[in-house]
Amino acid sequence: MRYAEILFPQKVGTLTYSVPENLNPQAGYLVKLALRKKSTQGLILEIHNRKPDFKTSPIEELLLSAPILPSSQIRLLQWLSKTYFCPLSQCLKLFIPKRIFQNKPIKTRKKKIEQINRTPSKELTASQDKIFAEIKDSSKNNFLIQGVTGSGKTEIYTRLAEHYIKQDKQVLILVPEISLTPQIIEYFERGLGLPASAVHSKIAEGERNDSWQHIHSFHQLVTAPVN
């Protein structure tokens, strides 16, 4: 018998459910199940074989044919919760629109697509080029670039973003203040010639849904099997 750790958008923590033999879910799947005698939806965080000391209810149904969150985003979700002492259920709201858990369709808004005119790449200084090469060629995954305002740190970040996008990877930029978001987005969009998606607490629900769809559809594209 397999078991699943389920995360809910409600403040109930993570609960263990059994996985029926006829279902083959993975971490990141959205599922239908019973919670407090009511049918609801939850997200699978983990699949395992550890039998709990209590009786478990079964997962009733897989709601989508593919994971709604990839493993990389699940790890990020767990890291955010642990690092910032924030409940997993609260962090989950940053990753998935609430309409998904309300079993409501995400409506695609008609949005005028503006052409992004890429600015010519700036020539890196010797110091910037050394830092860029050290980061992209290193096996480490944590770096701190120290420099005063205007010293060219953001240009290094742009080059690193371009490097990983060319490898069909996503790039997540964390901005310290919401007020800085517009200028940061413009810098990266013009520097890369690609549209960026913004997610923060001040955007409207429709815009948040659009950003989620953009990110989710890109992940499905780069992970689709090649025939």
Q: Of 13, 120, 1, which is closest to residue 57 (Cα–Cα)?
A: 1
* Single-letter code of the amino acid located at 38: K
Model confidence pTM above 0.75: no
- The pair phi, psi for residue 143, each rounded to 5°, is -140, 150
Does the structure show a pLDDT above 70 at 96? yes
The torsion region of residue 27 among left (phi > 0), alpha (psi -120 to 50) and beta comes to beta
Pull the structure tokens for residue 109. Answer: 């808004």
Q: Is the pLDDT of residue 226 over 50?
A: no
Report pLDDT digits (tens) over 104-135.
Answer: 776 666 665 567 888 888 899 999 999 999 99
